[in-house]
Structure 1
Amino acid sequence: MRSHFRADRQLTARMLVTLFLLGLLYVAFIAALVALLRSWVLVVVIAAGLLAAQYWYSDRIALFAMHAHEVSAQEQPRLHGVVDRLCAIADMPKPRVAISEMDMPNAFATGRNADHAVLCVTTGLLRRLEVEELEGVLAHELSHVAHRDVAVITIASFLGVLAGLLVRFAFYSELFGGRGQRNDQNTAVLLAIIMAVSAVVYVISFLLIRALSRYRELAADRSAAMLTGRPSTLASALTKVSGDIARIPTEDLRTAQPFNAFFFSPALGEGASLASLFSTHPSLQRRLDQLAKISLQLGEPT
């Protein structure tokens, strides 16, 4: 699918490099598990099953976790109107449109490709933004769909999910021969090695995905600004959303944080400077600075 979103070769190159490195890591991880567990069939079946589920059902999983539901044009005419207009300008298929009943102002896109994409916004976002600001946010999310980086992030995050699940699986399953053998020295050593390998794999995949995610957010901001021709309205939306998210109750933020890589703005509260070192998004100031430069390039009136 080709759209009128400007091609971003740097984004494409970074996605390919990240996927290549994660692919090498994935092969090494599976090989290590096969050598340790001596059951390549079990390892491959579990890994393939989890990857397939995450790839094919990522949209359903995200909507369920965010308490979201699809809405029709009759239910949300303003929202559908903005999406229709942007898809026509970008010459891309219209994704399904959903709403999450959350006060946290945010939006995300998910789905394995443009033909199976879902664009979701929260009621908090709809309530806070003007139409022009909402258009900038939705153009940002549609850029993720057009550049296929939604699917890339979904696949890339799989390795970290697998590593984390394996640690839990090691504790709670009969993989190591049942409770009767848990005091066995060989079993304890095997468990320690698998946990160590899983931890290393998780950390490396975590850092690679964060680096890619920060760049993809800048790329989506740039594409949205160029498509709408109004970088200032996207900057206004970013400022509003980031400021309001910091005032959302901590419990609500924790519910949303597992999906930070997909959000328009990360679910981080005040005092999250340490978390920003490993954030899925660049800093607000960096995003605003980029939009200000684009505004000057386009000669947008101030």
Structure 2
Amino acid sequence: MFTNTLKTGVLLAGMGGLIVAVAGILGGGSSASLTIGVVLALVMVGGSYWFSDKLALKAGGARPITREQAPEFYDMIARLAERADLPMPTVAIADNPQPNAFATGRNPNHAVVCATQGLLSSLSRDEVEGVMAHELMHVKHRDILIGSVAAAIATAISYMAQMAMFSQMFGGRDRRDSNPVAMLAVAILAPVAATLIQMAVSRSREYEADRGAAELIGTGEPLASALEKIEVLAKQRPMAVQPAQASMYIHNPLAEARSSQGGPNMSKMFSTHPPTAERIRRLREMNPSPIV
């Protein structure tokens, strides 16, 4: 929906404004800390973005497959990609019992969509289709790029904050125009604020991929049903995933069990994924009558 796209734009703009403000405060009006922080962030996050497909496959223990190895699954992806007006992505399967899936790649021409063996064996065909439609929407919306931009800004802010703290500790006290307490507060709070915005961007893109998947297959019920099963089975079948890779999956493989009926929880603000119950509710509101 346009609301989610607008929200993402506002959040990214907010991160851009935050990095300029932090650079001005911590850099004392100088652009040196901003330049160093941005360069370091671009090198680190840019490399991860450019090689995201190879890194994700290796981290997830996944292997690319051919049509001959899994014809039904491969053909499903081909039909969905054609319907979404996308190039055929690389299709992969990870030998993991937890039902989950991810998409990665620097652009639609270098995309990878991957399902775990647990997803293929535990969910119905329609549910698998809903999940993979969601992953293809990440590719179509270029969410890997959006996430990388948000990560680069957050990383740059963290580097600037660290440099400012070192500066205060080793010689920064000689600056007459600086306020050590204020700079320390900004150095501590700025990375937290950047992380909160980065996580909000990620959650917004998950909602948008859910919406796009429901539109692609004509109903939100298969994905809603799939998320219900994944939520339960993911707690029973742990997955060894690096925290940095967890945000790629349709359901956070590292998420701890929490009540879907619980009240406000600060941990939700630092989560890369929206509450599963809320995702299911929104999907079913798009099509209240389940398809049998």
1:265 maps onto 2:251 in alignment:
yes
SS at match of 1:98: strand
How far does residue 137 in structure 1 lie from its aligned partner after superposition?
0.2
The two structures have a TM-score, normalised by structure 1, of 0.77
2:115 is paired with a residue whose SS is: strand
- Which of residues 217, 221, 225 is equivalent to 1:228? 217
Closer/same/farther in 2, CA of residues 208 and 277 from structure 1, 3 Å limit: closer
Contact 1:247 1:269 in 2 (8 A): no
Once the 2 structures are TM-superposed, how far is the Cα of residue 200 of structure 1 from its aligned partner? 2.5
Structure 2 residue 104 is matched with structure 1 residue 115: no
* Conserved 8 A contact 2:26-2:160: no
Contact map agreement 1:58 1:154 (CA 8 A) in 2: no
The answer (yes or no) to whether the contact 2:90–2:112 under 8 Å persists in 1 is: yes
Q: Is the 8 A contact 1:30 1:44 kept in 2?
A: no
* Superposed CA offset, 1:240-278 (max 9, x none): 1111112234xx36x354333322112213247643343
Aligned to 2:8: 15
- Match for residue 288 of structure 1? 280
Length, aligned pairs only: 281
Amino acid at match of 1:260: A
Aligned with residue 193 of structure 2, among 191, 195, 204? 204
SS at match of 1:246: helix
Shift of 1:9: 2.3
Matches within 5 A, 1:215-254: 215-249=204-238, 252=239
2:53 touches 2:105 (CA, 8 Å); kept in 1? yes
1:301 to partner: Cα distance: 4.5
Deviation at 1:280, TM superposition (A): 2.1
Judge conservation of contact 2:97–2:116 (CA < 8 Å) in 1: yes
- Cα distance between partner residues in 2 of 1:168 and 1:121: 38
Q: CA deviation at 1:230?
A: 3.4
SS of aligned partner of 1:157: helix
1:77 corresponds to which residue?
71
Structure 1 stretches lacking a partner, 5+ long? 1-7, 177-181
For the Cα contact (< 8 Å) 1:30–1:43, is it kept in 2? no
Instruction: Give the TM-score, by structure 2 length.
Output: 0.80
Give per-residue Cα distances to partners, 1:275-299, cap 9 Å, x unaligned.
3343222222222222222223xx6
User: Contact between 1:213 and 1:281, CA under 8 Å: does it hold in 2?
Assistant: yes
1:126 aligns with 2:112: no
Contact 2:214–2:220, Cα closer than 8 Å, also in 1? yes
Select which of 58, 66, 69 maps to 2:60. 66
Cα distance in 2 for partners of 1:95, 1:192 equals: 51
User: Is 1:146–2:140 an aligned residue pair?
Assistant: yes
Across the aligned residues of Structure 1 and Structure 2, the Cα RMSD in angstroms comes to: 3.3
Stretches of structure 2 lacking an aligned partner (at least 5 in a row): none
